[in-house]
Amino acid sequence: MNNARSLRRAALAAALALAPAALAAPALAQEAAPAVQIKPKSALAVNTNIQAATLDNGLQLIVIEDHALPLVTVEIAVKNGAFTEPPEFNGLSHLYEHMFFKANKAIPSQERYLERTRELGLSWNGTTSDERVNYFFTMGSGRAEEGVKFMADALLTPLFNEEELVKERVVVTGELDRNEANPYFHLFQAMSARMFWKYPTRKDTIGDRQTILTATREKMEAMKARYYVPNNTALVLAGDITLDQAKTLANTYFGPQAWPKGKDPFAVDPIPAHPPLKKAEAFIVNQEVKTVSIQLGWHGPSVGKDPASTYAADVFHFILGQQASSFQKALVDTGLALQVGASYYTLNHTGPITITLVTTADKAEQAVTALKAEIARFHTPGYFSDEQINTAKTLLAIDFLYSTEKTSNYAHTVSFWWAVAGLDYLKTYLDKLNAITRADIERYLNTYVYNKPYVMGVLISPEQQKAIGLDDKKVNTWAAPIKPAAAVKVKPR
């Protein structure tokens, strides 16, 4: 079990390498890749084996049929996570994920639960992220029905044993301890709290220590009643299974008789919108680090409101990450930065745009000035070429295709996009990606970056801060909305 968001942050922080584009696996990043566009008729040309059906109780059944190996993955995805958490529930989606793998009415104890996983030969885990919690088992296809029943028992009849709850509260806060040992975690947490200033807990998956340590069985039951209803859930069956077999299993163990439809959780308790940033601001985070890390963060597109900008963001940020990009040349090749990267994280409830630069204390102010100048030039003719746009599309498409090869892993990708953006977004991703133009990228920048307030965090040791005379007043002079640079007209020869 893991907290996907916190582990993602920790991994990013350790290497200070920004996440790849939304649907992409880790970038192949060959700079010399040919500018050849991949043009499948649709993403279904890649995944004709993805089928979906809706049960009478509202449960979404998703089947990924692949008979190459005698394996089946059973996955449950729920639209739950940090985005559903007011302060009094901050971190409890993750705690609930831990309690899922415990005793239930069919499995009387944790010991028996673990024994049953061994009997079934399961590979199993769960993750919690901003807008989805998922649980999954992979087993031999000959035991698929037993695996589905095992999942149903855990999902529908958890006991939330008090003794186990006390143990898991400590386990979850132990994950928080490990995150807090990473100095970069403090920068990411502070950035998120300021970027999403009115509802910070709804972006904080790891959660509040005291809230976790005082969590009660009643709160677990409340979460189950609110979010763990069939009409807020997807059942993914992936691997050596047919749609007819999947429908039979789904209706037997998750159908209306076993699991009645619930109230729409988001009609009962609507998710508040994150208000825009009021002004550009900068702040300092002190940790014992050798380098200086500077991160800028903007509110990016919400995929449910502006899906077109999410494709443009994927293409553009991929371009920025390539070693031969103007961005890398101006900042890394000149020696101003040790590393620089940019990302957009696709979410339904305001995805963040982040740019992170790593430098040394003596170059920090100069590097910030150069970074802002580069951002101002993003839109100018020649900053990136048509060939770079086409190469980005090609490599992103290759990454997407590669991510579909291992069906047990692809099930997690499918459930994520079901929760965040819907299956149609996933199915049409390659088509929409391939249609992105320079004008779409410029629209993305004008809508979300240029002349928009942002947050700037500076991670620096106290000693280095003192050595360069950096204080709150001075660091705030570094932050101001960035205007697009005037385009330079080239006279014809």
Tell me phi and psi for residue 236, to 5 degrees: -105, 125
Evaluate if residue 18 carries a pLDDT over 90: no
Domain-embedded: residue 320: yes
Mean pLDDT on 228-249 = 98
Q: How far apart are CA 186 and CA 284, in angstroms?
A: 11
First to last CA, the chain: 63
pLDDT band for 44, please (50, 70, 90 cuts).
Answer: very low
Q: Same domain for 182 and 232? A: yes
pTM over 0.75: yes
In order, the DSSP letters of 260-290 are: -----HHHHSPPPPPPPPSS-EEEEEE-S-S
Evaluate if residue 22 carries a pLDDT over 60: no
pLDDT at residue 410, rounded to an integer: 97
Domain-embedded: residue 274: no
Mean pLDDT on 271-285 = 97
pLDDT at residue 40, rounded to an integer: 38
Q: Same domain for 395 and 460? A: yes
Q: Same domain for 249 and 293? A: no
Mean pLDDT on 165-185 = 97
Q: Same domain for 158 and 253? A: yes
Among residues 268, 295, 310, which one ends one of the domains?
268
CATH code where residue 177 lies: 3.30.830.10
Domain-embedded: residue 324: yes
Evaluate if residue 361 carries a pLDDT over 50: yes
- Tens digit of each residue's pLDDT (9 = 90 or more) over 475-485: 999 998 899 99
- Tens digit of each residue's pLDDT (9 = 90 or more) over 375-394: 999 999 999 999 999 999 99
pLDDT at residue 1, rounded to an integer: 62
pLDDT at residue 183, rounded to an integer: 97
Evaluate if residue 155 carries a pLDDT over 90: yes
For residue 79, the one-letter residue type is K
Q: Same domain for 303 and 254? A: no
Mean pLDDT on 93-102 = 98
Q: How far apart are CA 243 and CA 226, in angstroms?
A: 29
Q: Same domain for 302 and 179? A: no
Evaluate if residue 6 carries a pLDDT over 60: no
Q: How far apart are CA 48 and CA 42, in angstroms?
A: 10
Q: Same domain for 235 and 313? A: no
Domain-embedded: residue 486: no
pLDDT band for 2, please (50, 70, 90 cuts).
Answer: low
Domain-embedded: residue 490: no
Domain-embedded: residue 491: no
Q: Same domain for 243 and 347? A: no
Q: Same domain for 181 and 286? A: no
In the chain, pLDDT over 90 holds for what percent of residues?
A: 88
Q: Same domain for 90 and 50? A: yes
Among residues 268, 296, 316, which one ends one of the domains?
268
Q: How far apart are CA 449 and CA 451, in angstroms?
A: 6
pLDDT at residue 42, rounded to an integer: 39
Q: Which two tokens stand for residue 223?
A: 């979460």
Q: Which two tokens stand for residue 57?
A: 């109780």
Domain-embedded: residue 209: yes
Q: Are 325 and 388 in contact (CB under 8 A)?
A: yes
pLDDT band for 11, please (50, 70, 90 cuts).
Answer: very low
pLDDT at residue 49, rounded to an integer: 75
Tell me phi and psi for residue 285, to 5 degrees: -120, 120
Output 28 or 419, whichever has higher pLDDT: 419
Domain-embedded: residue 432: yes
Q: How far apart are CA 295 and CA 457, in angstroms?
A: 5
Q: Same domain for 321 and 427? A: yes
Into how many domains does the chain fold? 2
- Tens digit of each residue's pLDDT (9 = 90 or more) over 288-302: 999 999 999 999 999
- Tens digit of each residue's pLDDT (9 = 90 or more) over 411-458: 999 999 999 999 999 999 999 999 999 999 999 999 999 999 999 999
Q: Same domain for 33 and 149? A: yes
Q: Nearest CA to 310 among 83, 96, 43, 23?
A: 23
pLDDT at residue 48, rounded to an integer: 46
Write out the residue range of the structural domain in which residue 9 sits.
Answer: 2-19+28-268
Q: Please list the residues that pair with 77 across neighbouring strands.
A: 134, 234
- Tens digit of each residue's pLDDT (9 = 90 or more) over 208-218: 999 999 999 99
Evaluate if residue 36 carries a pLDDT over 50: no
Q: Please list the residues that pair with 63 across neighbouring strands.
A: 51, 237
Q: What is the DSSP letter of 358?
A: E
Evaluate if residue 33 carries a pLDDT over 70: no
pLDDT at residue 23, rounded to an integer: 35
Tell me phi and psi for residue 8, to 5 degrees: -60, -45
Q: Which two tokens stand for residue 177?
A: 């301890």
